[in-house]
Amino acid sequence: MHKSISIKATSTVKVLLTTLALLFSGSINAGENVLKFAAHADLKNTDPIWTTAKISTMHGWMIYDTLFGIDSNYVPQPQMVDTWTRSDDNLTWTFTLRAGMKWHDGDPVRAADAVASVKRWGSRDAMGMKLMAVVDSFEPDNELTFTMKLNKPFGMVLQALAKSSANIPFIMKEEVAAKFDGFTQVPTNIGSGPFMMVEDEWVPGSKVVYKKFEDYIPRDEPADFYSGGKRVNVDRVEWLYIPDAMVQINALNNNEIDILEGPSLDLLPVLAENPDITVAPLPQKFSGWIALNQLHPPFNDVRARRAMSYLINQHEYVQAIIGNPDLYSEFCGSLFVCGIKPYDFEDGSEMLRAHDPEKAKQLFAEAGYKGEKLILLDPTDVPILHGATLVTAQKLREIGINVETQAMDWSTLTSRRAETKAPSEGGWHLWHTWWPHPNLMVPVSHPGLTGACEKAWFGWSCDDELQELSSSWVFETDPVKQEEIARKLQLRGHDQVPYALYGQWEMPTAFRANLKGVLLTPTPILWNISK
């Protein structure tokens, strides 16, 4: 049973909702069981390896499968894999796939597909790159079995293959994964997962449709987080993009949608008054980042990046974008997320704690800033990120920074952020995002602390010390020494500011109370649900 969030609606919180007609057209056959899901963003980029955008990752969970899955205790469990072995020296890993798995086009799933997919993922993902750096050979042995040989032990092989947050090592067909590297989008949406995308019903800016893949063979184990049996109990799933927060709430209250991924926090009291709605906390914490483009001035100078740390007052951000103090932290200086073991320390966060706008102004000047226009991307369809953008724009203007906010939807931003051109030529200087804690708990999976230059996360942080520390943590087996490395990594991160940390919070999801089997996971998954 889900534990609902208790939200008190007071006389000062009165929201008048006008009934708006929502026209959800589609080719629905009589008697079809349809699950309607309101996603946080419009799906534009469908390749979850090319981008870390959450909406693309959610799409990946619908149509693809993974070799291993993380359970609710964050322990890797076999998913597409049937059996596996490792040698006594931990250098040779052999995996055998479950028999009978098929792609959506009817072709059998082969070991060659798994190998090509993991190699592609390993060219893009922070954790994957560290794994592939120690791989001597990785090849299929036969149709179902493949072997990975390492040149040094890598203690998180299964954790890497079971990674549950972007980028996720989804398995694609060999003909696609081998042809397109991780920095080029794949053009198809053929997976072997529990749902099939109905591409001729995809309406960008409005709706994405999936149907049950009848030939999918779920595992026997009960569904547990991202592991176990992915049983589909509906015929069809419709993702609806509803950018207006009030219309979202109205649709859920009126039973026009079944699940609202991220309800507007200021409208939660409206949902709390409806006994047919469950508002449930998600098992995750979110870390808010300001991405800083280090390819171009002023943020190619560390003094300008440090200026952003001095400028930030985390309380102002979380109060503005979250509002409910039960859902946010007053301050978090941990790059590995506060309140999450093992590395919730706050070493090196003095600049963030200081909140010194005059110091920020001084550092911008020392970095050579002379009034040039800074391009701040503004995802207006994501209330939290839009709100954070407004706070940053105001704070920059207060210290004399010339800021231009450029409005767009989130999906457009996730394409724009890959642009490396100068901001005056279509690039950017800064924008806001957030990350769920599973990505950030340990150095090996942390996308912001790789220092990997052109292969780094957007902003392209380039720092040899970050790279060395991140890599050394992976191969250290002593937990005490691992913690020492993580502390050094945090200190270096706060000093170099690959991104600016503007706060930490939690968010609920909301769904019709008649739904059964809803799995509360950091990224929404829609198998196991009955209605």
CB atoms within 10 A of CB 358: 9
Residue 438's pLDDT is 84
Cα dihedral 183, 486, 54, 281 in deg (nearest 10)? 170
Is residue 197 a contact partner of residue 209, using CB atoms and an 8 Å limit? Answer: yes
Q: Give the CA distances from residue 486 to residues 115, 331, 341, 497, 500, in Å, rounded to whole numbers and listed in that order.
A: 31, 20, 12, 16, 18
Parallel/antiparallel/unpaired status of strands 236-241 and 76-78? unpaired
47: Cβ–Cβ under 8 A, 6 or more apart, which residues? 56, 185, 186
* Token pair 């009034």: residue: 371
> What is Dmax (Cα atoms) for the chain?
68
Give the model's pLDDT for residue 324.
87
Spell out the residues 6+ positions from residue 75 whose beta carbon is closer than 8 angstroms to its own: none
Q: Can you read off the two tokens belonging to residue 409? A: 């939807």
Residue 4 is predicted with a pLDDT of 45
Give residue 495's pLDDT.
98
Q: What is the pLDDT of residue 522?
A: 86
What does the pLDDT read at residue 166? 83
Nearest alpha-carbon partner for 6 in 262, 268, 242, 267:
268
- Domains defined along the chain, listed by start: 43-190 (3.90.76.10), 286-505 (3.10.105.10)
Q: Kindly report the backbone phi and psi dihedral angles of residue 240, in degrees, each rounded to the nearest multiple of 5, phi listed first.
A: -115, 130
pLDDT at 176: 97
319-342: b (≥16 Cβ within 10 Å) or e: bebbebeebbbebbbbbbbbebee
Q: Which two tokens mark 364? A: 């911008």
CA-wise closest residue to 523 among 64, 182, 178, 1: 64
The contacts of residue 213 (CB under 8 Å, 6+ apart) are 104, 193, 194, 195, 196, 232
Structure token digits, residue 417: 């952020």
Instruction: Give residue 266's pLDDT.
Output: 83
The stretches in the chain having pLDDT less than 50 are 1, 3-25
Q: Residue 27 has what pLDDT? A: 52
